[in-house]
Amino acid sequence: MYFTGILKKISITLGLAMLSTISFAQELASSELPESVMNDQRYNRAIHIMVMLLIGFGFLMVFVRKYGRSALTATFLLVSTALPLYFLIRNTGLMGVASNEIEKLILAEFGAASLLIAAGAVLGRLKMPQYILLGLLFIPAYAFNEWIVLGGGLGIIDPGSVVDVGGSIVIHAFGAIFGLGVALTMTTKQEMETTIESDATSDRYSMLGSMALWIFWPSFCAALVTPAEMPHTVVNVIFALCGSTLATYIFSISLRKKVSIADIANAALAGGVAIGSSCVVSSHTMAAIIGIMAGSVSTLGFAVIQSHQQKWMKIIDTCGVTNLHGIPGLMGGLAVLPIARGLNIGNQLLGMVITIVLALSCGFIVGKILPILGRKIEAYDDAEEFLDAEA
């Protein structure tokens, strides 16, 4: 009886002890950490992504010489519209169960990034209220596509079967193609003839934005990967960016005789766009190769294809998002095919097709809606909407 008593006592405390111990050990083993630790890790990624949204995308768009105040204000307004709206939509539960707060914040930031890409296509030709309206219309479309392609929405694609953790498809390609759709209906003749000017100061601001994006890109791609996958993932992203940066320089000088700083500021980032889908599963060497290919194709786009595209499609893509996010994004989605083991190839391709169709059609419709708020008269110029902006 004495023994039994002791044993019971031991067993009970032991049980309690082990409950927490074993579960913690299991968590460690399965790369899962206590929630408060996970939240903090993801919070830091979330802040890194916020740098990309505001300073990154914001200043990258300041390359338009006379439109800096507008580009930065638009960035502020787009982000401030996108984040709460995404929360609102997810909180309805209509498009998948709302996840934990920090995870939802990161997903909202992904939506804001995609929105900023879309806005880049028509930058300088919308009035401030139109950027806000663009945000209000874009985010539901974005969330819908994300839900269908990644979250199993409407039962079309098994959840998790499309490999796109860093958003090559659902963030970059979606945003760029949506922007193209808007540009298709919005571009005026006058805009086709207006030169988009930059100067030494706007170019250096633009490089600041580009560098902010480059620096924090690993956090963008690794924001929602497991702690165990993180180290391999972030090195992949960095290798892809190094590859695209070197390739951009080489292609820019080869294709143009002299280097275009716009190529450097933009195409150097194409590796980050393209590695998005495969950042976890790729090898380091493959990541570098994907980066080199993306940087090459993107530079080719900026240096050669863009002027043809504009004539052929009769649009202006102000920031060249087709070349930085569109093509490299789709490349990234395809790059998964030969790399990922046990991939459902059909679903991967179906997810890409759905993204393209939804983005283009929604963008086209939104382009028809935006003019209800009028039209900007003087393109690429702060003075129409900002005080003391003649300088």
Which residues from 254-283 bind a second copy, rule CB under 8 A?
256, 258-261, 264, 268
Rounded to the nearest 10 degrees, how much is the dihedral formed by the CA atoms of 158, 164, 169, 170?
70
Q: Which of 72, 148 has the CB closer to a second copy?
A: 72
Provide the residue type at 333 as one letter.
Answer: G
Give the helix/strand (H/E) hosting 256.
helix 230-256
Name the one range near a second copy by CB under 8 A: 154-162, 166-174, 253-261, 312-320.
253-261
Could you tell me which residues come within 8 angstroms of residue 80 by beta carbon, excluding any fewer than 6 positions away? none
Please, which of residues 10-39 interact with a second copy by CB under 8 A? 10-11, 13-14, 16-18, 20-22, 24-25, 28, 31, 33-34, 36-37, 39
Sorted by sequence, the CB contacts under 8 Å of residue 212 that are 6+ apart come out as 51, 52, 55, 56, 59
Question: What is the rounded distance in angstroms from the CA atom of residue 31 to the CA atom of residue 62?
Answer: 41
Q: In angstroms, what is the minimal distance from the CB of 295 to a second copy? A: 10
Closer by beta carbon to a second copy, 158 or else 199:
199
Backbone angles phi, psi at 142, to 5 degrees: -60, -45
Q: How far apart are CA 102 and CA 111, in angstroms?
A: 14
Which residues inside 44-63 make contact with a second copy, applying CB under 8 A?
A: 44, 46-48, 50-51, 54-55, 58-59, 62
Whichever of 21 and 307 has its CB closer to a second copy, that residue is 21
- How many residues of this chain interact with a second copy, rule: CB under 8 A? 105
Question: Minimum Å distance from CB 28 to a second copy?
Answer: 5
Among 98, 128, 304, 343, binds a second copy (CB under 8 A): 128
Q: Which residues, 363 to 382, sit near a second copy by CB under 8 A?
A: 382
Q: Write out the binding residues for a second copy, residues 290-329 only, by CB under 8 A.
A: none
| b/e map 106-145, b = 16+ CB within 10 Å | bbbbbbbbbbbbbbbbbbbbbbbebbbbbbebbbbbbbbb
Q: Report the alpha-carbon distance of residue 123 to residue 75 in Å, rounded.
A: 10
Nearest distance in Å: CB 98, a second copy: 12
3-class state of residue 342 by DSSP = coil
Subset of residues 207 to 246 that bind a second copy, contact rule: CB under 8 A: 207-208, 211-212, 214-216, 218-219, 227-228, 230-232, 234-235, 238-239, 241-243, 245-246
**Per CB under 8 A, 360 contacts a second copy:** no
Is 199 an interacting residue with respect to a second copy (CB under 8 A)?
yes
Q: Assess contact for 119 and 78: CB atoms under 8 A.
A: yes
195 binds a second copy (CB under 8 A): no
The residue among 226, 217, 110 whose CA lies nearest residue 170 is 110
Q: Please state the φ and ψ torsions of residue 68, each to the nearest 5 degrees.
A: -65, -45
Whether the Cβ atoms of residue 264 and residue 299 lie closer than 8 Å to each other: no
Q: Which of 60, 61, 64, 79 binds a second copy (CB under 8 A)?
A: 79
In terms of CB distance, is 147 or 239 closer to a second copy? 239
CB of 362 to a second copy, least distance (A): 23
Q: Does 97 bind a second copy (CB under 8 A)?
A: no
